Amino acid sequence: MSLLPDTDTEAKPPVTTFGPDFPFDYDRWISHPAGLGRLPDAELGQEVAVIGAGLAGIVAAHELMKLGFKPVIYESSRMGGRLRSEPFSGADGVFAELGGMRFPISSTGLYHYIGQVGIETKPFPNPLDEATPSTLIDLESEQFYVEGAGKGELPPLLREVSEAWSEALEGGADFTALQTAVRTRDVAALKAVWNKLVPLWDERTFYDFVASSRSFAQKSFRHREVFGQVGFGTGGWDSDFPNSMLEILRVVVTAQDENQRMMVGGAEQLPRRLWQLAPTTLAHWPAGTSLASLHAGAPRPGVTRIARDEGGAIAITDRWGDTRRYKAAIVTCHSWLLTTHIDCDESLFSQKLWMALDRTRYMQSAKTFVMVDKPFWTERDEKTGRYKMSMTLTDRITRGTYLFDNGPDKPSVICLSYSWMSDAMKVLPLDAERRVRLMLAALQKVYPGVDIASHIIGEPITVSWESDPNFLGAFKGALPGHYRYNRQMFCHFMQDSMPDAERGLFLAGDGISFTPGWAEGAVQTALNTVWGVLHQFGGKTLTENPGPGDVFDAIAPIDLPN
Ligand SMILES: Cc1cc2nc3c(=O)[nH]c(=O)nc-3n(C[C@H](O)[C@H](O)[C@H](O)COP(=O)(O)OP(=O)(O)OC[C@H]3O[C@@H](n4cnc5c(N)ncnc54)[C@H](O)[C@@H]3O)c2cc1C
């Protein structure tokens, strides 16, 4: 949350992604030895369709399989979805993280699955992180250079910006009380603060919060500008300035922007290993059963149509025209695909829900990577004594440059540029080569003495998520006034009061969650649908381990009047 050193050393419970909208203990639910629930014997082996083999789809399918269902996964592109570790050709184990790459330790649901499949993690080389040899902040050609965490060495302007942000959070969002309630999992205290903030900030932007705060209002415009460029924790946040302030509050209060780690060997391993995993506790299925074995090795093809048939079943048609019928199906792809790429019966959702699915806004994001012969940035410049190159935050087109050190004299990786929104749109029509040339030209101005190009080996890798027809964007970024849409989508797994025509199709994934852009949201919404499907088939959770639907009424997200 702050660029400044944390002086508060008192031992406290950890901050986790507990709410703030729906404070349910997902981590405890999924790690409880009694399991998630029981399915009636007559329903064991029933098929449930899961559309999308990203994290949400694979987590939902994994838990459904453990309960005794037969998940049938459909995927139109590549398993892993937005956890995509693209290998550089010609080098073993060298890859570019095109989607999720840094995972806050507060994502305890996500880390449960990382632990289950035994993926090692290590600190992500973020700006001003202990794991980062050096950080260079380049703004209007003025440079600030810091080694390691080095927060004490920040120049006055950056210190003032950081302090102003902390004060703004305290004054505008009762931040300490809010985060203490998250830490201690005190639902009443959390609701008392959060339920006041929702109507106050749903219709106002992040920029409004910053500009109207007393702490920033007392400072110069330059302070707000620098805050936008440098942000807090992980990099520039001005791309999020138009978003609803609630989106930002959720990130900081659940510490998504802090203590981030990367998955050694790539994030795509998580869904892939879960796909292969044969769980030790399985209802119905023989030992050794995995998602892979239930699918003859690969998911079914992409879905082109979702309809309600005459008998009331949900009929799913794949791209080759094969139609199968299910009592329940989980949709995990971006919601816009339901109106653009999948012919989905309008009657399957209420008009209010369609409004939410269609109005939901996705942000754009572009990344450009190169492989280099060695981590040359660990060498020192003879004249300045500084590291030759640093994790770099700048107002130039590259915005964020990240360095991935694979060990001395081993091919390593530079993410030349990670950008969002307008900065991502600037490069949308450009191919990888043109993007690399642009980024190198910008970095040349930051590091005039360093010949990055001379270290490049292999082919560059780039991505613009918005140009991929399987995604149409990077992740949700709710705009002012979108809280009601978020709530509508998130709560859709509670289907008892819905007309029969709208039941049986469940929504999960990043875009349905209250914490978009973070894999934890995909996990939590997937788990909601597991509860929803179990309930629909007459299954029950155990008294000692209630699920999200069992406690829904007590902790439901606040409902704003229409
Ligand atoms: C650029 C970027 C950076 C990110 N950084 C981070 C980060 O640092 N930390 C973090 O925690 N999270 C991060 N995230 C978010 C994280 O990657 C996502 O929350 C998570 O991967 C989403 O999983 P999902 O299953 O909800 O969606 P997806 O991964 O999108 O899965 C949906 C799947 O549905 C498939 N599909 C689409 N259409 C069809 C169809 N018709 N039929 C069948 N299948 C279909 C898609 O191909 C896809 O595989 C980032 C995301 C992006 C894009």
| Residue boundaries of the structural domains of the chain | 26-81+265-361+476-555, 128-152+365-473
The predicted-structure confidence for 246-288, as pLDDT tens digits, reads as follows 999 999 999 999 999 999 999 999 999 999 999 999 999 999 9
Pairing of strands 134-139, 391-394: parallel
Nearest Cα neighbor of 56 from 465, 479, 490, 351 is 490
- pLDDT value, residue 19: 95
Residue 235 has pLDDT above 90, yes or no: no
Overall CATH class of domain 128-152+365-473: alpha beta
Residue 509 has pLDDT above 70, yes or no: yes
- pLDDT value, residue 532: 98
Residue 3 has pLDDT above 60, yes or no: no
> Among 510, 513, 527, 528, which residue has the most ligand 1 atoms within 8 Å of its CB, making it the best to mutate?
510
> Mean pLDDT over residues 540-559, rounded?
98
Find out whether the beta carbon of 213 lies less than 6 Å from any atom of ligand 1.
no
Find out whether the beta carbon of 420 lies less than 6 Å from any atom of ligand 1.
no
Find out whether the beta carbon of 517 lies less than 6 Å from any atom of ligand 1.
yes
The predicted-structure confidence for 135-147, as pLDDT tens digits, reads as follows 999 999 999 999 9
The predicted-structure confidence for 107-123, as pLDDT tens digits, reads as follows 999 999 999 999 999 99
> Mean pLDDT over residues 27-41, rounded?
97
Contact 53/271 with Cβ under 8 angstroms? Answer: yes
Cα 518 to averaged position of ligand 1 atoms, centre (Å)? 10
Q: What residue owns the CA closest to ligand 1's atom 34? A: 52
Contact 172/450 with Cβ under 8 angstroms? Answer: no
Residue 4 has pLDDT above 50, yes or no: no
- pLDDT value, residue 131: 87
Cα 81 to averaged position of ligand 1 atoms, centre (Å)? 5
Find out whether the beta carbon of 333 lies less than 6 Å from any atom of ligand 1.
yes
- pLDDT value, residue 379: 94
Other beta carbons less than 10 A from residue 380's beta carbon = 12
Could you give the CA distance from residue 337 to residue 478 in angstroms, rounded to a whole number? 17
Other beta carbons less than 10 A from residue 351's beta carbon = 8
Core vs surface per residue 117-146: b (16+ CB within 10 A) or e:
bebebeebbbbbbebbbbbbbbbeeeebbb
Find out whether the beta carbon of 111 lies less than 6 Å from any atom of ligand 1.
no
Find out whether the beta carbon of 106 lies less than 6 Å from any atom of ligand 1.
no
Could you give the CA distance from residue 446 to residue 137 in angstroms, rounded to a whole number? 10
Find out whether the beta carbon of 396 lies less than 6 Å from any atom of ligand 1.
no
- pLDDT value, residue 1: 41
What is the distance of C-alpha 501 from the center of its chain? 32
Could you give the CA distance from residue 134 to residue 145 in angstroms, rounded to a whole number? 7
The predicted-structure confidence for 288-315, as pLDDT tens digits, reads as follows 999 999 999 899 999 999 999 999 999 9
pLDDT-derived band at 229 (thresholds 50, 70, 90) equals: confident
Per the prediction, the chain carries an average pLDDT of 95
Q: Which CATH number fits domain 26-81+265-361+476-555: 3.30.450.20, 3.20.20.70, 3.50.50.60, 3.40.640.10?
A: 3.50.50.60
> Among 333, 402, 462, 506, which residue has the most ligand 1 atoms within 8 Å of its CB, making it the best to mutate?
333
Question: Do 128-152+365-473 and 26-81+265-361+476-555 fall under one CATH topology?
Answer: no
pLDDT-derived band at 11 (thresholds 50, 70, 90) equals: confident
Contact 281/66 with Cβ under 8 angstroms? Answer: yes
- H-helix segments, 233-392: 245-253, 269-276, 291-294, 337-340, 351-359
- pLDDT value, residue 231: 77
Cα 395 to averaged position of ligand 1 atoms, centre (Å)? 28
Q: Which residues lie closer than 8 Å to 68 by C-beta, 6 or more apart?
A: 39, 43, 44, 45, 282, 283, 284, 285
Cα 83 to averaged position of ligand 1 atoms, centre (Å)? 6
> Among 82, 251, 421, 475, which residue has the most ligand 1 atoms within 8 Å of its CB, making it the best to mutate?
82
Share of the chain above pLDDT 70, in %: 97
Q: What residue owns the CA closest to ligand 1's atom 13? A: 100
Residue 155 has pLDDT above 60, yes or no: yes
> Residue 506 forms beta bridges with which residues?
330
Residue 240 has pLDDT above 60, yes or no: yes
- pLDDT value, residue 152: 65
pLDDT-derived band at 129 (thresholds 50, 70, 90) equals: confident
Residue 429 has pLDDT above 90, yes or no: yes
Q: What residue owns the CA closest to ligand 1's atom 10? A: 518
Find out whether the beta carbon of 305 lies less than 6 Å from any atom of ligand 1.
no
- pLDDT value, residue 5: 40
Residue 499 has pLDDT above 80, yes or no: yes
The predicted-structure confidence for 474-496, as pLDDT tens digits, reads as follows 999 999 999 999 999 999 999 99
The predicted-structure confidence for 54-109, as pLDDT tens digits, reads as follows 999 999 999 999 999 999 999 999 999 999 999 999 898 999 999 999 999 999 99
